[in-house]
Structure 1
Amino acid sequence: MRNIRPRFVATVLAVLALVAACSGAPEQQAAGHNEQDVRFAQEMIPHHSQAVDMAKLVPTRAADPAVKALATRIEQAQAPEIEQLRGWLSRWGAPAEAPGHGGHHAMAGMMTGEDMRALEQARGTEFDRLWLTMMIKHHEGAVEMARAEVAGGSDPEAKALAQRIIETQQAEIDEMRAKLPQG
């Protein structure tokens, strides 16, 4: 009987030590992201949302089938990325919108309300030219934001998305520049 008590105490102490050692794990998992990752997600959501809004204008306004095809690709790529970014913010316990970011047009490449109204009113080849010009600027802003994430972020998934954004949107910038009339 006397051997049972020390074994019981040793078992309880071992279990307590194991629980104490494991209690740090959730904090370590949560520490997989940093402020830059949160800022990237919070800012890329409205940025991508505006690109999707711009792409949705194309089917009824554009003249060039290549512009229509590009807009479809942009919408199909960025809409799911918005959900992915929202999921990360939720997992990280961060708000979907950065505090103090009421004026999103101040973000790199964002169109103003006036820009969007001009785009909504344009039609045909004028729309194509305006849309390509604005989307190039918009994509350049996204590439800038993604480069900041690659340089300063710590979450591997966020950095991987940022790298894909750089590669995809730079290729689209090159494609759009080639479509713009020279001169």
Structure 2
Amino acid sequence: MNQGITFTSKAAGSAGNSITINIKESLTNPPDVFVTENVDSKTVTIEFTSDDRGRNTATVDGVVAAANTLEVTLLSASGMGTSLVYSATVKTSGAGETESVDLTVETGARASGRITVTVFGIPHVVSVAGQTPSQVAQAIATQLTSIGIPGYTVTNPSGAIVRFVSLTPNTNVPDITVSLN
């Protein structure tokens, strides 16, 4: 069974809001998956390497294991499977604000195929074909807008950003979960 990665803040309440998670391919070639955090800026960075042919090798299992083994203090990770993990940035908001999540697509589609965007545990398939990160973000936003995500609007406000905004303003609603496979 393959599933996306779910990141959960270790801090309860508003202290767990506004954590930025950067998932990216590394140019410095660390071990398979390398996780760092900056507690002051509430940022967790997950870097992964490619194989000798430039192909991504980071899996859900590898990222989850690295995040949990390295005793990251801001959050924990869960999920399982051999699905590949691709570059993205996710930032969440919290109580007293309108709930929103920005998903930043950092790697374009190198070939024709499909990606799966899972929202609230429901997979949505998006077709891609040799697109830039901005084009992939636009394809995701267009697909999710056309089918509708209950309680949220989905937009592509600029560049490679896919934004999910709650339709219930200034209220702490159940957190949205979004993963990209």
Report if TM-score (shorter chain) is over 0.5. no
Q: TM-score range by the shorter chain?
A: under 0.3
Bigger share in helix: 1
Give TM-score, length-normalised by structure 2.
Answer: 0.24
Structure showing greater radius of gyration is: 1
Bigger share in strand: 2
